[in-house]
A and B are shown apart, each in its own frame.
Chain A
Amino acid sequence: MGGSEDSFRALERTVERATEAGDDLTVAVVENPDSELAVEAIRERVEAFLRESAVDADVLVLEGHAGSRLVEVAEGEGFDRLVLGGGETSPLGKVTLGEIAEFVILNANTSVTLVR
């Protein structure tokens, strides 16, 4: 979660799916230079959403380069899937992928899901 609108959309859908499937969920909050929200504000919004949804999920704050930290934690701690916001839409309607998603797709050995 880097605080962009698509990251919150990804959170909502992931909570829905994880609840249906009975999956364990960990939410990672990262520093996104393109986002206007500070890490602490993102974490508060994530935690509020998890409380509302009555979902028990760990929330991690990953400092440093967002993409590489996500890949490192996913692989190091044995997660079987990374879910990310799948991009914003430009004024013209083009899908534009954020830098974090690009890095993760190109570098992760873990399966990656982009939420549109």
Chain B
Amino acid sequence: MTRAYPEEVAGPYDPPPRSFEDSEGRELRVHAYGEGPAEDEAEALVEMYAAFDPEDRAQGIPPTGEDRVRAWLENILAPDCVNVVAWHDGDAIGHATLVPDGEDAYELAIFVLSAYQNAGVGTRLIEALLGAGREEDIDRVWLTVERWNTPAVNLYRKVGFEAAGNGSFEMEMAARLVD
């Protein structure tokens, strides 16, 4: 399948860390995975996904059940992936990841706990992830999103993704990080 990437570079965005006040007045921070405030960040993410609203799952992820979550995280927290985490004090409340697809591009996904949605967290988190990816010389990023998930599609468009492929249920979108 050929995927069309936009001509223009998304952003460019700065890599983490960044801190901001969300629209609910909460002080939040975004860090690269491994540089956050928790001693055991993988465990903090397991806790975040345990609290994840099943309604917010998309295309089978995050998986359900702690064992499956752990196995899935082990894959996407591998050293060849790029991960950033949004923190409220010591709690992980958002997570975004880039996973190599074996064909010189990276697949993107982002998760925000429901209590922190619609507060500007997703935008900061995805911008930080794209900044971290650019720093790693990643130039092409893609994702799939359920066509009816308008808030997500709008977020991806806002940060520089464009529709790249066709499916009835899922839409493929792509962004370029480096010229």
A63: which B residues are within 8 A, CB to CB? Answer: none
Alpha-carbon distance between A95 and B167 when the two chains are bound, in angstroms? 13
- Of the candidate stretches A4-12, A69-77, A96-104, the one touching chain B is A96-104
B168 close to A102 (CB less than 8 A): yes
Where chain B touches its partner, the secondary structure class is: mixed
Inter-chain CA distance A103–B167, complex, in Å, is 10
A16 at interface by CB-CB < 8 Å: no
CA distance A99 to B75 in the complex (A): 27
CB < 8 Å neighbour of A92 from B1, B76, B169, B170? B76
Q: Spot the interface stretch: B39-47, B54-62, B127-135.
A: B54-62
How many A-B contacts at CB < 8 Å in the complex?
47
Please state if A97 and B167 are interface contacts (CB–CB under 8 Å): yes
A13-55, CB < 8 A from B: 34
Which chain B residues border A92 with CB–CB below 8 Å? 61, 76, 97, 99, 107-109
Q: Produce 1/0 per residue, B92-128, CB < 8 A to A.
A: 0000010111100001110000000000000000000
Residues of A48-106 whose CB lies within 8 A of B: 89-97, 99, 102-103, 106
Give the interface centre of B1, B61, B76 by most chain A CB atoms within 10 Å. B61
Contact yes or no, A93 B72, CB < 8 A: yes
Residues of B in contact with A, size category? 20 to 34
Chain A neighbourhood of B144, CB < 8 A: 90, 94, 96
Closest Cβ neighbor of A106 among chain B residues: B168
Q: How large is the interface on A (under 10, 10 to 19, 20 to 34, 35 or more residues)?
A: 10 to 19
Quick one: which of A34, A93, A94, A102 contacts B1, CB cutoff 8 A? A34
> Which residue of A89, A90, A93, A96 has the most chain B CB atoms within 10 A of its CB atom?
A93
Which of A89, A91, A106 gathers the greatest number of chain B CB atoms within 10 Å? A91
Chain A contacts for B170, CB-based, 8 A: 96-97
Measured between alpha carbons, how far is A96 from B143 in the docked complex, in Å? 11
Choose among B1, B59, B101, B169 the residue that contacts A91 (Cβ–Cβ < 8 A).
B101
The residues of B that contact A94 with a CB separation of less than 8 Å are: 58-61, 107, 109, 144
Q: In whole Å, how far is A72's beta carbon from the nearest beta carbon of chain B? A: 19
Minimum Cβ distance to chain A for residue B38 (Å): 23
B63 at interface (Cβ–Cβ under 8 A)? yes
8 Å CB contact of A95 from B59, B101, B109: B59
- Is A91 within 8 A of B100, CB to CB? yes
Q: Is the CB of A95 within 8 A of B168?
A: no
- Residues in A with CB closer than 8 Å to B102 are 91
Q: Complex: how many Å from CA A96 to CA B76?
A: 17
